[in-house]
Amino acid sequence: MQTENVGIVVSADNGTGVLHQLTGVIAAHQGNIESVAILLNTPEEARTYFEISLPGDAEALAADLRALPIVRGVEITDTMQRIFGKRIIIMGGGAQVGQVAIGAISEADRHNIRGEHISVDTIPLVGEQPLAEAVRAVARLPRAKALVLAGSLMGGEIEQAVREVRAQGLLVVSLNMAGSVPEAADLVVTDPVQAGVMTVMAVADTAKFNVARLKRRQF
């Protein structure tokens, strides 16, 4: 049976077991929850966003959710995957992050015009522990496909974090910098603008660039 990916926002009373009741209705419709986010959580109301792979009618699911006494409203939406698509995260020193973003945004625009959906997120961040924590957190971000580390010196705990997220399937690109992070990354690029361009090319379905086929990984 063909499935459809849908987004559903449910506004409901807040309290113990609310999520259990909502997911029970979704399961009864054979829906597979691929992503869930709590958009609002106050004593009076909880608003929850689901992305669901659904074999049946989304309107039928919405009707059964609305029938629950705890539910105040249900909205069927497009999924974040369709709207914002794959995410590229750039973190490190502000100047380098900005230069990588120039390349990534320019290249993403080229592919998005051709039907791709790629978004770019940045966070200027310094310090070994904050950066290591942020690197590990990228693996928990929805739709994150690649991480670019942009700085002048990164190593130690950051290197270990890079190896951990790569083992979880995240592509990691590093600027050519001092420290041990370049040794742990999938790809090392000296020019920050080019690093942004190559990262987008690596995750875009509309590009022919494949990191696994490169004969060298430093440029």
Domain with residue 53: its CATH number is: 3.30.70.260
Full domain range(s) for residue 166: 84-213
Strands 144-150, 86-92: parallel, antiparallel or unpaired by DSSP?
A: parallel
Q: Are residues 47 and 135 in the same domain?
A: no
Given 58, 81, 104, the domain boundary residue is 81
Mean pLDDT of 87-114: 94
Which three-class secondary structure state does DSSP give residue 120?
Answer: strand
Q: Are residues 17 and 51 in the same domain?
A: yes
- Residue 218: inside a domain: no
**Cα(10)–Cα(218) distance, integer angstroms:** 47
pLDDT for 1 equals 59
Q: Are residues 91 and 138 in the same domain?
A: yes
pLDDT for 56 equals 82
Its pTM stands at: 0.82
**Cα(11)–Cα(97) distance, integer angstroms:** 38
pLDDT for 18 equals 92
Q: Are residues 100 and 175 in the same domain?
A: yes
Residues 200-213: tens digit of each pLDDT = 999 998 877 777 77
CB 179 within 8 Å of CB 159: yes
Residues 121-179: tens digit of each pLDDT = 999 999 999 999 999 999 999 899 999 999 999 999 999 999 999 999 999 999 999 99
